[in-house]
Structure 1
């Protein structure tokens, strides 16, 4: 039937595929450890205890040795271009939750909901214009 090398290879491939669904870039290195163990048992017949020790050591060495180098490659580059906030100042929106000078409300601009503040009271349903932005909060005035 299938030997330990086959099963370690399957485990390694599954862990690497699972990395696509789980953030953090950790499972990938356990997958590398499983593939290293598969290579070991393919070349040298080893007992289960030795296989588990090799898996643990290979996984931890690859995790701590390679993660820092590979994380930027897997993470990609962050870019502000094309974000939802680009060019939002000057856009028109509609108030969905009333805004008062003391308490922020909510608005919809270009189909996206935002937290909004204003120096004036603006009731729900009223049109507004975005005059500024502070982090993820828009500053608006009534239209």
Structure 2
């Protein structure tokens, strides 16, 4: 099966937009749009190296624009909107577990040393450190 470059870029663009719909990243949608733009331009762009370079430039510009203009127009990170989650796995001291929040699961660790979070327990999201959420059990907050 011999796929044309335009079809490959089109499929990549659609796949990245599906990924954007499933994750709150802003990056996949921008890259998907860039891939769709390269799909339109691929008949006049010579070869894969040039097409990939144009894709990288378009992606970078679109990610920058999305972050700059969406945040200026009231875009809020889903983590800022939702402060609670639920432990999917146990979170034991010194180790990461998993927390469900915003329709997906995240790596998580407990903010409090020596505290174990049980699966199913509601947690308060203190902050995000990269792709890891720092959490505290809600029952501890309610006792305070």
TM-score, structure 2 normalization: 0.53
- Show structure 1 runs of 5+ residues with no match: 1-10, 34-58
Conservation of the 8 A alpha-carbon contact between 2:109 and 2:133: yes
Conservation of the 8 A alpha-carbon contact between 1:29 and 1:63: no
Matched residue count: 104
CA distance in 2, matches of 1:123, 1:95: 7
Conservation of the 8 A alpha-carbon contact between 1:93 and 1:107: yes
- C-alpha RMSD of the superposition: 3.7
2:10 to 20, 25, 28: 20
Paired position in structure 2 for 1:72: 57
- Show structure 2 runs of 5+ residues with no match: 14-30, 139-144
2:43 to 8, 11, 31: 31
Give the structure with higher Rg (CA): 1
What do the CA deviations read for 1:44-74 (whole angstroms, capped 9, x no partner)? xxxxxxxxxxxxxxx34x954x764564336
CA distance in 2, matches of 1:105, 1:142: 13
Higher helix share: 2
1:136 to 131, 136, 140: 131
Question: Do residues 122 (structure 1) and 117 (structure 2) align?
Answer: yes
Change (3 A) 1:86 1:122: closer
Task: Give the Å deviation of 1:133.
Answer: 1.1
